Structure 1
Amino acid sequence: MSFLDNVEPPTNLQEPQYKFVVDELFTQLDGANRANLGHFRTVSDKKVSVIQTFIKTFRIHIGDNIFPTARLVFPDKDRRLYYIRDVTLARLIVKMYSIPPESEDYKVLYHWKHGFQKEKRFTVDSNNLRDLPLRASRIIANRRESTPITTRHSYTVAEMNSKLDSLNDAKKSQEQIAILKPLLDSLSIPEIRWLLHIILKKSILVRFENYFLSVWHPDAPALFKVCNNLQKTFNYLVNQETRLNKNDLTVHPTLPFRPQLSFKLTKNYDKLIKDMSMTVPMDVNFQKMFAAKDLAGKFYMEEKMDGDRMVLHKQGKHFKFYSRRLKDYSFLYGENLEIGSLTKYLSNAFPSKVDSIILDGEMVAWDFKRNVVLPFGTLKSSAIQESVRQYTTIDQYEQQSSYPFFLVFDILHINGTNLTNHPLFFRKDILQKIINPIPHRLELLPSIIGSTAEDVQRAMREVVSSRSEGIVVKHLQSKYFIGERNPHWVKVKPEYLEKFGENLDLTVIGKVPGVKISYMCGLKNDDDQVFYSFCTVANGFTEDEYDKIERITHNKWIAYKDQLPPSKVLNFGVKKPMHWIHPRDSVVLEIKARSIDCTVEKTYAVGTTLHNLYCRSIREDKSIHDCTTISEYKQIKAKYSKDLEKSHSANKKRRVLQDSFVQEQQPKRVKVESDLFSGFDFVILSDNLSRNGDRITREELIILVKKYGGNITNTVHKLGTRQTIVVTERELPTCKSYFDKGIDLVRPSWLFECINRVAIVPLEPYFIFGSKNMAVFKNRQDEFGDSYVIHQTVESWDRNRFQRLPETEVDIYRREFLEDVSATEESFPRRFLFHDIKFHIVTENYMVELLQDRIERFGGEVIAAHAGCSFIVVCGDSENRDRTEVLNKVKAITKDISEKLQFEDAILTTKIPSVVTEAFVKHCIKRNVLLDSDDYKYI
């Protein structure tokens, strides 16, 4: 039994009132802002004082039993589940107060999600726009004015908890309304606001949760960290003078805790091996065991599994399963040996002498028909199907060919003994001795002992060949840090062609409001501890994530025009946000990007930025101190800079040719071979941009025109008698002046068509880049916008769409299109979604042609061989018809790739294509962003 079991709650002098909690804590914290600091130096200092005063008053006037009150103060950590989200709550309020559909209040509440983005553009109250409890309480206040309610009731904390317990049990909307309506009718408006906050389980203390715990008792944060139970924490820690020992503040069976996490690789293999094989002093007994096993200078390597991190607790015959996020999955995997998708197979997994044990590992889904571990997304369904199967005698679930499989890689506790402070090699030795593997149900994750960089290279070849996640390199003497990242556990993953490396964890430091909010992120400089602006992200957020960010940062934003950020904290480049925030008050985002911009630019203070990026998730488990730093980013960028700088150099050269045509020297004299263009003057403004990657430069176009008799000029003569043709395929500053003068802007393709036909081809919309005479040119195409004489391929589809726009929309469309192109950190134009990306499709059939057409329509290229491609796509139809044949082809391809891996400076330099399902292409197009291929892996 744990020392936390059967702890009796202390008694209070009197029952605390809900109004007291609202007035003295919630409202005071919410009202702390820069405008009313008083004698406090910062907002944080004022909030600290509010919490201290509240707890001091509570102890003096109420007593030591604060747990019932803590359930309201920590709604996100309380175990009640109301199953009421913001939209549901808003519509319940509509029903409760019979708000008519034609009213503004109805529109605000009933269409809460859909109306936000539109409404945000027209309101000055943007800080509170996402705060549903605040806005709903205002609406309720207005409704009360029309129908005054005389009944008021002052609820105690116990009464409020009782009402919320009833709401927890209510499942139907009518039951929920029956509980909520009397409450909302009898509470004050501030009390209603915070009640709605509690029901939505939104954090009220936000960044001050640990501080509240520490003020109550110095050991409270540490105890809550290892038990994650408010009741046990507050009921046990009453006397501030009584302190806990180290054994108390460690893991205990059945009590959930956040597992240890690993770091990502930021160094080459040689440096990694040096750090991982370094021996540190140990206890004498451990030292003898270490020497006897000949482990000096060695390290562990384990495969990084694609599953759900899970911690297994066993106490007697009872089991508990907790995820990395502390969610209890015991109902799914089993609470005893009699029933459960996993535990019913574990009766022989542990020796009889093992009474209590805590194991850390990865829960995966095992397909027993294909003998493979399935992707992460199939795990829950496998467990559910396995659980259901045991209740039925019919074969309706027989088609389910997978079940949960727990792979153990660490042991943290056994029979009352804490093992987190013992070295890893000792913990591994215990695992080997006490675990009886149950094949494909519960096994030890294989650990390979290595000693050189070549060992890591061999492991990486195997990872690529088997299309695995990567490996985790572990120091043999490493201890276990609960809820923290251990620098002695390092994950090493192969890098894929469309990834510049690991996803980056960045701190939000600025905001640009708009139809879609854009968040500016920064990197911290290790030298001066200043955050430098780095990129802006607007894609990848769900409405819930927008809400969460705005809720966490509520009242923390400062208008840039009103107050400049302190230079010792933040540094922005040319691009400034409309609002900035202090990093300590901000959030951490996990950002995925397609590429790094290695050019020297001043848009962001870091000097480079990311392209085609989106937010994968909000990292609530990370602080700003865990984020990527400038030095770490430079190490990542260095691996790509050679190729990117080479590419940039070429682009820069082209840019000179394209934009500086006035100063450019005329090409050498060209021999005229035809008089085809002899009646025209040509102004050549840009290169010819070909979709297949071949580019004809502006200088080459000039030579071509002169070769066919055309005259090259840099200006348009008003009094000239010859017709002037302006050729361009890029929007340049000069284009607008020609366009405004009524001169047609013609694509280079017109030149090629004329040369091919040995005749001057009439201008059609297909050839026009821009013109005020579109009405005339549109008469030269059919009702579908196709040319009568020119064959138009799939490649020209988007161009035709451009040309079919009404004349009055052409300029607007082009401007919006160019804004999209320039905003590489935000929405990328859909037509260029797969620009410069090569795909290889594994199989051959009619479905492949449709898939290829979709890829090419959005700017991608499908190639015949897998060498040089970014994505290897398995067509869904082929997979369904002949999996064995497809799987053999994929295995042959990945084996070939692994054999050709190259390592330079003791690190893998080969970029590897991702093997994905057809769904990857489909969902990228649907969301208009290059998604993470890890979510669509083919297995």
Structure 2
Amino acid sequence: MDVNDPPSAEPSVAENVTFGDLVTLLEKIQRTHGNAKKREILAKFIQHWRDAHHNLHKGKKTTDSFYPAMRLLLPHLERERLAYGIKEHMLARLLIDVLCLGKDSADASKLMHYKAVKATQFGAGDFANIAYFVLKNRCPEKGTLTIADVNTSLDAIAVNNSSKKKELVRKNMMHLLRNLAALEQKWLIRMILKDLKIGLSQQSIFAVFHPDADEMYNVNNSLEKVCIQLHDPNLRSHEIAISVFSPFSPMLGEFGNPDKISKVMAGKQFFIETKFDGERMLLHKQKGEYKYFSRSGTDYSKYFGCTKYEGSLSQYIHNCFHEEINSCILDGEMLGYHSATKTFGSKADHYDIKARDLGEYQACYFVFDILLYNDLVLSNRPLQERVHFLKKVFQPIDGRIHISEFKIANSRDACIDALNNAIDNREEGIMVKDCESIYRPSARRGGWFKLKPEYVDGLMDQLDVLIVGGFWGIGHRGGLMSHFLCAVALPTPTGKKPSVFWSFCKVGSGYTKKELIDFNKKLADYWQPFDRKNPPSSIILASGFKEQPDAWIEPSKSCIVQVKAAEIVSSGRFKTGYTLRFPRVEKIREDKPWFECMTTEDLDDLRQKSGGKLANRLLRRKKAITQERPKVGANFQAADTSQVKQESDMLCNKEICVYNGSKECSKAELEKLIVKFGGKVVQNPDSITNFVLADKVTVRVNNLVKANSHDIVKVSWFLKCAQAFQLFPWTPQDMIHASQGTVTHFQKDFDQFGDSYTQPSTIADLKQVFNNIDQSGFPRLTSSEIADVEEEYFQDESPYGLFRFCRVYIDNKLDPLVATTQIPHSPLDLLALELRYFGASIEPILTNNVSHVIIDKGDLSRLYFFKDIRRQQTQKFHIISSQWIKDWTHPPPDLAELALPSPTPTLVWTAPWSSSHEIKAAAAAAATAAPAAAAPVA
């Protein structure tokens, strides 16, 4: 297939839209902040496309659609259909060839070593961005290809790659590279690598195109069908057809544990099945033809058999189907069956169930659901009805095709027993399914739950391993070490620290993005590029460097992480000969020094003890606790109010329950006051009780809070009303707990911390509001986070972040290295407040953290003193006059609307800047250069 092959006869919109137009869209989306704004930009582009489609085809039936653009917006969805066989290094070689770069030139080195740790100024780990910097001065400003042209070339590359026609692949790539601008080539590279990095998810793009697009794609896994069938956004697909030989994503189970099951099911019946450790597979059958689709929609029929005469499975199960079955779609798990031992293998046994030669195993299919029975679609029927159809479809054959066994249960204890049996039998876990659940393709929240030992705290062994290597991330993790190579130590004599570590596993999950960013900052100064020709002597990898990190770290500079996994399995990719299955980080062991990590001996002991499985104990049932009901104490009994005379109607028609009293007024005295003001006292609140009074939060009060049925008001509010003979409206400060109705009322008049929108606040009110802020755990923004907010929402509109990254020492002390020797009545004291007002951090003493030193413009006698201190420090600071700060914060009236000129040398003794952006940039650079623990990074 060649790029010059003639196009199809049917005209298309893609032939009239340039690739540059699509690139302009992608650039605009990438630069825009906020998902809603990004979607709005994409929606306009799609609408223009639909308008052009209408003008081109005049309402005629056509297969032309938005698909040519959609496949470029979602290139990862073409992964199986279009295997380009092109990675970063091949692209680098092609670019070097096309641009005639010297192999030893700086630009060629940037392309070939795009992951180099020191290439951060070009965006380390992002090949497309680095390629753009190399190409931008060597390419035309505008390309000549349309979207249709680019797709034709990409199709040709995929076809020729699968046919092993490397020369034609190269020819098609050359055609693209020579006819596109540098910016267009950057995005083309991202499309080939199938990672756009525009900040819009697959679901968001589908939602903009059509409300039913995501759901339809989950059913048929065809981007082209989605774009053709849902071209009109006003036509809804209310019933999604499941049809034979059309792949779709199966229904999934969400993570669960016995407590969650008990809460969600709430006494309803559910099925408990074994969770099989194989490959999820959907079997489509029509007469004598078979199709097998994986969870991702990949067709594996050529391995298992397309007809009744071939494959590792179809030829053995064809005769088991009942005669009346013309077509069906089954959902199940493909396992390896060992006929000699009559046991089932697992993924840890290192065989590929999709291979033609399974060795001592044979393919066996465990069926647990049915979606189509002849022409009857069953997906909208409850599970308990669907499973009855299974027995009508086929007769099971041992070792070839089975129906999954299940038991009906309705309690937490049943889940615990089943999970413990799975642990005893060394199985992966169990599945719990709502009997009433319908089949929802690709859904993970449809009433199916998977329970594994690693999902339950306390059941798994946890391993303390040392991080020795890192791998650059892609997508939203680009520019970060997103995965880590972990190792165990070789044993050493007692008292000696280990010096050699063997690679053991690679871990890349278990932490949030914020935790990953913080962890990257912690280790940022210690990463070193991994040189295969000169590897570190302290870190030993498997022969052939099968898991070679992008960078390594000296063990003594690293830290231990606690890892949890399903089991230990054999692997030739790591020096230990073993690795972890499904590992994830539980926590960073700040309490353990680097040399106390697990050793190879510890690993062998654990593996032999558990047989590889890391579920080390069973889950226990909760025992019912019975105890004698206590008698009501005298302080909880009702007060004798028979002699109390009513003196007011303030609480007329109000029923009040008093839970406890205060130091000023006991429970009995409060109840007498309520009767005195015309109210009714009860000992237990019910649906007609107006509110509850309490001073202390006791167990009884906590139980009422959990019930969320009543307002619980502080005794202090009632005493204030009693003293004034007047009922005051409640405020959030008066409440121990507010019911939903009261919360809704408060939201209209108060903010989340209890500050009134309409009433003036007293000093006491403000103290309470600030106390509420502290107790709420409301996060306090760091300087870096405040700067991000200013940059995104205010930019040049607000001056209050002018000195955001500056860590300032003010020369108002006799000794800058001691915080207590203050100069009395220093003229710079007011300047300190002003600097804080404009975002600066004021440092009490002069340390390496300081980025700027401010001295009085009227007294320069200490200038050389500070210069001498600066010469002795490893991290330099700027010495600036107080007048320069005032010129920035109080510009002359005639210059108020203009950018200030650069300060003169008489005002600044280092690094003059000409704009507030340059102040921030220089301050951020100075802060970054300081020790990691001392300065935030922008």
Larger CA Rg, structure 1 vs 2: 2
TM-score, normalised via structure 1 length? 0.49
TM-score with structure 2 setting the length: 0.49
Q: Which has the higher contact order (CA 8 A, sep 6+)?
A: 1
